[in-house]
Homo-oligomer: A and B are copies of this chain.
Amino acid sequence: MEKINILSKYSEFDAKWSPHSIAELNGQQVLLAKVKGEFVWHSHIDEDELFHVIKGKLRMDFRDKTVEVLPGEIIIVPKGVEHRPYAEEEAWILLFEPISTKHTGDVIAEVTKNEYPKI
């Protein structure tokens, strides 16, 4: 029951597209990630995924549209929906999703992480 300062947790890592876990509750995890450039198209069959932008600008590409998400904004990608996150400049995001969620869904790419460090 200690509080967690989100911004200060970002100082503990620098790798891009590498989620770090700051908390778990109710089978869900709270992840922080620094992102820059283009991620891979993927989807999660069984998991909805919440993205909350903390700093910078996240562009979420869907097959039929693109949404720009700014600090203080969230977007939820429903299960099964293909998406590709993109950030022209470095952005910091917070994700909320089930612990079971695989980084790139059933896509295996060079960027794929199988484990998320706990910080």
Contacts and interface: CB of A to CB of B under 8 A. Distances in A.
A48 B73 contact: no
B1 A67 contact: yes
Interface residues of A, number: 33
Contacts of A117: none
A81 interface: yes
Number of copies: 2
A3 B47 contact: no
B6 A25 contact: no
A14 to B, nearest CB: 20
Contacts of A73: 3-6
Contact of A25 (B25, B30, B48, B62): B48
